[in-house]
Every structure is written in structure tokens, then in C-alpha cells.
Amino acid sequence: MHSQNAMTNLQFRSDNTALFTFLIIGVLLCLAACSASNTANRSNTDREAVVARIEQGNWQSLITLAEFEERYLETRRSAEEARQDSLSAYREFLERYIDFKLKVKDAIDKGFDNDAEVLSELRQYRNQLAQPYLVEKELYENAIKDLYEKRQYEIDASHILVFVAQDAAPADTEKAYKKIQEALSALQRGAPFDSVARQYSEDPSVVQNGGRLAISQAA
């Protein structure tokens, strides 16, 4: 069984500027499956030890030793195989697992947690994580890259609607035009779009959504 007595401090800034630190603590992986008796004898304090702390603004997430062990074991054929892995292997998996958690948080922040397609894909990737010895770097990174590259370009559209009938009189057309120009001037002065939309838009739904349309993926 590998036993690492050194404590390693590492600090990273990810590509989405999240700053996180993690500690690979002594005896990082006395894995849960070392034996049933060993698992039973391990104290709650050991299993609740914090392996990683992820911070992004006011958001923070902790990864405990128990969580790390559980996820790592899912990637190996057996606990014996996992016990033979090196500290660098543990560290590499931890880095990728942290990256995955950050990507999930990013998806939630962007409202993708309400997107059925995204949720389905995230479940598929999580299932891939759970398949023994299938979590290799290329599979893991390609899965996350595929999900987010497909949503790299998106349109978050809002509108201000002013009705003009096809057979409108010139005076009515001019009135609508002036209304639009007033709204544009307000926006150019820095007024919040939702406030301007509620003042000028004739879309009945503007009261609830402030003129915001659903996010759509760009072609």
C-alpha cells in the first residue's frame, strides 16, 4: 500500500480564472477497500479530512478524502490496483476532478442546469467517470471540451417591441419610430435594458422578463 507522508501544497488559476488550492495530505490514499476491517476502523476524522478546497469569488467547495477515494476507486479495476498508483497519479486525477467540478459550476451559473440537453450530457459524462478504468486523460478532457465547445457561442438576446401595422398611417409609423429612438437614447445613456424595455416595449411578457429572450446557441 502506498503511504505518502509528505504534504504537498499546490496553487492553480484555471482557464476561467478560478483560483483554487489543494493539499495532497499524508497517507492520501489508504483506500476504503484496503480491507473491510480497515475501513471500519478508520476514524470519521480521517475520512472527513479535506483533500482539496476550490474557491471562486464567494463560492467554495471542499473535496473530502472520502469523496476522493470513492471517485478514484471508480476509475480502477480493483482497490489493489488503486493502492499501487503513485502520488502523481492521484494528483493528476484530483486536478481533473476539480476541473470537472468547476465546469459543472460554470454550467449552473450560466443556467445550463435548466437545459435538458446539457443535463443529459452531464449525466453521460458522470456515468463515464463511474466506469472502471475508463477515466483516462484524453476521454475526460475531450468529454468536457466537447460539451463546452458546443456552447462556446451563444446568443443572449433581449428586445424592445413596438407594433406597427402593415397598413399604418404615416403618423402612426412616425410615432413608433420616435418611440424606438427614445428607447435607444435611454440605452445609450446607460439605462438598464430591462428598465427601458418595461417603459417602451409593447410585448406583454416584458413585465416578467424585462425584454429578455431565451438563450439560443449560435450556428
Q: Would you tell me how many other CB atoms lie within 10 Å of the CB of residue 87? A: 14
- Give the CB-side neighbour count of residue 18, counting CA atoms within 13 A: 22
Which residue type sits at 14? S
Q: Would you tell me how many other CB atoms lie within 10 Å of the CB of residue 121? A: 18
d(CA 196, CA 114) in angstroms, rounded, equals: 27
- The pLDDT assigned to 36 comes to 37
Name the average pLDDT for the chain: 67
Q: What is the mean pLDDT of residues 79-97?
A: 77
216 phi and psi, to 5 degrees?
Answer: -125, 150
Could you tell me the pLDDT band of residue 80, with boundaries at 50, 70 and 90? Answer: confident
When mean pLDDT is compared across 20-24, 124-128, 205-209, the lowest value belongs to 20-24
Estimate to the nearest angstrom the gap between the alpha carbon of 214 and the chain centroid: 19
Q: What is the mean pLDDT of residues 3-21?
A: 37
- The pLDDT assigned to 67 comes to 84
d(CA 193, CA 210) in angstroms, rounded, equals: 8
Instruction: Flag whether the pTM goes above 0.75.
Output: no
Could you tell me the pLDDT band of residue 33, with boundaries at 50, 70 and 90? Answer: very low
Could you tell me the pLDDT band of residue 115, with boundaries at 50, 70 and 90? Answer: low
- The pLDDT assigned to 8 comes to 35
Instruction: Specify the 3-state DSSP secondary structure of 6.
Output: coil
- The pLDDT assigned to 32 comes to 37
- The pLDDT assigned to 59 comes to 80
Q: What is the pLDDT of residues 18-27, one digit of tens each?
A: 333 344 433 3
The residue with cell 418611440 is 179
Which residue type sits at 187? L
